[in-house]
A = this chain, B = another copy of it.
Amino acid sequence: MQLMVVGGSDAGISAGLRARELDPTVEVTVLVADRFPNFSICGLPYHVSGDVPDWHQLAHRSLEDLEATGMRLLLDHTAHRIDPAVRQITVTGPRGHKQALGYDRLVVGTGAVPARPPIPGLDLPGVHLLHSMADVFAVQQAIKAGQPRRAVIVGAGTSAWRWPRRSPSRELEVTVVEQAPAAMPTVDPELGEVIGRELAGHGVRLATGVTVRAIHPDNGGLRVVGDPWFDEPADLVLVVVGVRPDSALAAAAGAELGARGAIAVDRQMRTNVPGVWAAGDCVHTHHRLLAEPAYLPLGTTAHKQGRVAGENAVGGEAIFAGSLGTQVVKVFELAVARTGLRDAEAAAAGYDPVTVGSVEFDHKAYYPGARQLHLRITGDRTTGRLLGAQLVGHHHAQVAKRIDIPATALFHDMTVQGLSDLDLSYTPPFGSPWDAVQMAAQTWTRAVRGGRPTQAATNQARP
């Protein structure tokens, strides 16, 4: 059987690997648009920031590793057209050579492209969108050639891009301008303030509630202008305002589109086109707390969906369990994490949410090095069901894996109160007899229900 995969990033490679793992007789061909298969998009900012000096390291697997699994990778091959009636795909190779390749099963993993906000000046020299290795090389070239001293980063969101950990060069003054009222629009403003202080402490200026209107050339450099009252000179502008699904190839082949123009798939990652599956940042996503699919491009989801698509493309019956939007980012010394729904998202989905914040130590305060964790728990007032959690704290306070506790609880439809029943690990240097997440849950219950239990012997909202 010929399995064709369009896209050599997380979803596509996961699909190919899973197919080969289950059926080593399947011939897998992966079309990679550039020369960088299986590169960690989430890792790009850490290369720009200098944390990861060698870009070669950003590959999850090397080309040799990938080929050793028996997959065939066609680098610098762009797919133009899928003809599902005859199961052919038209591609252009590195020297412009066009050819039609046949397939039995096809997995589309075309990913996302950076969103281009309607701002005049995006094409000026010195203005960069960031998504691919090519973008990264362009920024590095600009820094090397131009020795910029002032950078403006448009957009503080996290869905497609991460904060540079430190300035790309030591002398670079960085200003971040964000349309939302607080840093990190993915968490509540109460936590945004904690993040804003961290940025300020590292010399990064943050302008929130500002809509950028234009980027102008100015005196050999650039000028970023916005409402209200934003006017900053810059030698370098990075625009990182999120991504949109790259679904054109599939759509032209007859694939239905869903949320935000992403390819519509079922939970087996099947499109409506016979013989075509799709996965990753190009598809909409089943969300375990929402009735309708959402667009939630995340690397973790791309890996899971790719694995499901690969399994099913070779005859399996795997089902994507669904996303909860669990994510974490590093902001200097802070880790900023969330899972599930925030208050407004939950209300829009028909829940009756209440969000309660609390501050707890990550481990017993008497043991040296205890750090404050800022937590916010969202639960349903009527049913007591856990709907979401947000967590900000020092990156040594186990924030990333601590958010995985409510993430796993959400997966199982637990109540807020049920979190206290979990048997979690404890020793004074690492935790508390009730973990910070459990203390935050108890604070929620006290605030919403006066501490009273809802139902005896019940830790799940749905039986």
Contacts and interface: CB of A to CB of B under 8 A. Distances in A.
A423 B326 contact: yes
For A364, A405, A424, the residue with the greatest tally of chain B CB atoms inside 10 Å of its CB is: A424
Per DSSP, chain A at the interface is loop
B21 A428 contact: no
Contacts of A230: none
Contact of A52 (B319, B328, B367, B453): B367
Number of chain A interface residues as a range: 35 or more
Contacts of A101: none
Contact of A423 (B324, B337, B433): B324
A456 B400 contact: no
B321 A427 contact: no
A162 interface: yes
Contacts of A364: 40, 43
Nearest to A459: B321
A426 B318 contact: no
Interface stretch (A118-126, A145-153, A250-258, A406-414): A406-414
A117 to B, nearest CB: 24
A179 to B, nearest CB: 23
Contacts of A303: 433-434
Interface string A298-318: 111111100100010000111
B425 A319 contact: no
A328 B412 contact: no
B426 A457 contact: no
A181 interface: no
Interface in A445-459: 446, 451-453, 456-457, 459
Interface in A383-415: 395-396, 398-405, 407-409, 411-412
Given A321-B459, A423-B301, A366 B40 contact: yes
A45 to B, nearest CB: 9
Interface centre among A21, A319, A329, A400 (most CB of B within 10 A): A400
Contacts of A456: 316-319
B328 A425 contact: yes
Contact of A428 (B40, B326, B428): B40
A9 to B, nearest CB: 11
7 contacts: A46-B428, A51-B367, A325-B423, A330-B430, A404-B422, A407-B424, A411-B422
Interface of A: 10, 21-22, 40, 42-43, 46, 51-52, 57-58, 60, 162, 288, 298-304, 307, 311, 316-319, 321-330, 335, 337, 339, 364-368, 395-396, 398-405, 407-409, 411-412, 420-431, 433-435, 446, 451-453, 456-457, 459
